[in-house]
Amino acid sequence: KFQDNASVDIHHDLQDTHISICSVSVPPLFTDNFDYETRDHFIDGIIVHEELLGHSIYAHIVDTGYCARVNNISSYDRICKDILQRFTHPTVPEMQTSCTYQRHNIYKKTGVHLEVDTKIKENVAIGTDSSFGSKTFITNSTVGSNCRIGNNVTIEDTYIWDNVVIEDNCVLKQCIIADNVHLKSNVTIKGGSLISYNAVLGPNITLKKFTHIFYDKDKKGVKFDKSIVGNEGKGVVYIADKDEESEEEEAVFEEIWGESDDENEDEDKWTTSTTFSDNNTSDNELIDTDLVDDTKVFFDEVVDSLQRGIKERVDCDNLILEINSSKY
């Protein structure tokens, strides 16, 4: 509580690990409220719809060691990079599995075969019995076990799982390739793309950014768009249901691995700043304006209550009740 401390520290150098330790009363709240899908939904719901009195949320700052949770593709990429670059020491690959560690953060398991002119630059992990063809280049990536990489292949910032076949002259940048995928010759996969299990792509195709391909080998009679997956390809483009997709998932899809559409961002900012100045606003815009006005009124009331509470030394519990009543 602020009233029990003489000073307050404000940090701007912390990163959320997305790891939470909850009391026994939290799981039933998730069960009773179907809208609670994430921790942020839960906290927002408690603040907006529940009484704050008697509830506490604490933050613990970890000073030593490494602590993080994979909860989206961006964090998957970030944590993998941290492990490869040994920021997680002593939890590093050669301490967890039987592999050799070489300069420039290169990790190899047994049975790895490289041609003389295969180039491995830095931050690379290669699984058991995987092979690489001539003039192939790989950096900042992982390759699973029993993979076959052809000649003149470029792999950058990519995560290749087990039993993957990549034929000659393919280019993979900032993507994830799941188990048992087969890429025919001359396939280019651009940033943010995900290729699911057992899919086949190519030959001679280029996938756009943020393309998600999946293939259900047990499902019969599915027609494949050859213009997307290639003449010998097997797979369909995954399109998420907008009604079921969460805001967090949509944000990750659009801003995967640090990429974003600057033009769209600027357009959104311009739209927000001009909402109140357009005299010919539509009904939807008027509704949005009303919602913003209500939010501003509530915010002003909370600020006024806090300022008055500090000035008059109002008891904290009474102040919380007053703020909760302002919501209605």
How does pLDDT run across 102-138, given as a tens digit for each residue?
A: 999 999 999 999 999 999 999 999 999 999 999 999 9
**pLDDT tops 80 at residue 254:** no
Higher pLDDT, 328 or 256: 328
**pLDDT tops 60 at residue 253:** no
Q: Indicate the pairing of strand 100-102 with strand 106-108.
A: antiparallel
Shared domain check, 184 and 128: yes
Q: What is the pTM of this model?
A: 0.70
Where does the pLDDT of residue 50 fall: very low under 50, low under 70, confident under 90, or very high at 90 and above?
Answer: low
Q: Is residue 96 part of a domain?
A: yes
Tell me which of 237, 256, 273 is where a domain ends: 237
Stretch 219-229: mean pLDDT: 90
Higher pLDDT, 130 or 259: 130
Tell me which of 31, 47, 64 is where a domain ends: 64
Q: What tens digit of pLDDT does each residue of 272-282 get?
A: 333 333 444 44
CATH code at 111? 2.160.10.10
Shared domain check, 286 and 193: no
Q: Is residue 253 part of a domain?
A: no
Are 119 and 134 contacting, i.e. CB atoms less than 8 angstroms apart?
no
Work out the mean pLDDT of the chain and round it to a whole number.
81
Q: Is residue 259 part of a domain?
A: no
Domain that holds residue 163: 73-237
Residue 264, pLDDT score = 44
Q: Which residues of 187-225 are buried (b: 16+ CB within 10 A; e: fewer)?
A: bbbbbbbbbbebbbbbbebebeebbbbebeeeeeeeebe
Least confident of 142-146, 212-216, 256-260: 256-260
